[in-house]
Structure 1
Amino acid sequence: LLSSLSDPEGDDKGPEGRYEYPTDISFKNQMDLLGVELRQIGASLSLNMRIKDLTDTWGPQNGFDHVTFQIFIDDPHKTGSTVLPFLNATMPAGLDWDYFIFANGWSIVAYSAEGSGPKSFGTAISPTPLVQTNKMESEVVLRIPGETIGRPESLNGFKVYITTWDFDGIEAVYRDIYPEPKSYHFGGGSKEDPYIMDDILLKIGESD
């Protein structure tokens, strides 16, 4: 076990606590992070993310829907990006990201910070993580190969910043947000606000 952290239930309301879920009945509290564990298994990492409601209403091949996980990994020995692509947000103070994993019910993609920006995910890298779900525990588990994050000799000092939101698979964009929620759009903000429903920051080899 490299790091573990719990997160309060019911704080899936955005950075300022005013966001509302879309009104369609298929939305529960899929974006509410309850806890994260990061383990090292050989040369790979196992990232276990527990959420309030794990659903598969739309038959996603990865076993979960109505939540995307944005996983930003900060290698303390590298200088990456502070901007979180397409999320109208930046990394927590003092951090930058070098590797980014985008995970939803239909696709898992990994990127490096090279070429990233407000409207660019960065440079696609491989191998991409594997995913499985544990419905009994409402967990989404990512197995991240060491090669994906450059096979570091030590993970001491690494940070892992995780955010949740949702993705419109038809339009292939993050769901936008309006002052009032709609069937498939968030409420309580504007399109310029951060696309972050809940978040959690893991620190390896340091006290949380």
Structure 2
Amino acid sequence: MSSAERREKEKQERRESILNSAEQSFFGKGYDRTSMDDIAKGAQLSRALLYVYFKDKAAIMRGVMLRAGYALLNEFRAAREAGGSGLQQLERMGQSYYRFSLEQPDYFDVLTNASTFAHLMESDELTEDMDICSALTMGCMVDSLAAGVADGSLSRERITDPMVTAYYLRGALHGIILQTREQGVCVAGQPDPAALFEYTIMMFNQSLRA
């Protein structure tokens, strides 16, 4: 490894350490209650060194949000790349979205509450990367919808615009996931959260399949 490569590796490791520390503080006590000193202490770096990597605390939050976005994108990509019909790919994406909300709840919450942090957004490389990541995530759904129409597993009559359908499905799935999270412990008269989500997937399949 050359000296330049070693320096770049160390730089990336410090950046990841800062984000790891920020996540622990942001998710533990909230963004507003987290200081740059808290993040520096967790990363075992000087406060001044934080500003070498991030302009301010808002930029660090954008870095965390980008991490969350790519974590979800990786789930959707895996569902798409597993193959099968377009309908099967979409079903796997739905399942992976639900699993993401259970296994990475802090990332799910960050993406859900993105509008809450709108005041932290400014035009920089992180914001541009977040927009690209979001577009790629929706692109996975659009590609699977188009593939399903082409392979005959999805209805051409119902899916006239894969992009519009993708946004509808993402929004509907997100709403159901939020509903299952609000339920918490099941009580009399309420469906089991996992069963409700499975039912939702089944209804989507029936309404969209050819």
Fold-level similarity (TM above 0.5):
no
- Structure 1 or 2: larger strand share? 1
Structure whose residues are more often helix by fraction: 2
Larger radius of gyration: 2
| Structure possessing the higher relative contact order (Cα contacts under 8 Å, 6 or more residues apart) | 1
TM range (shorter): under 0.3
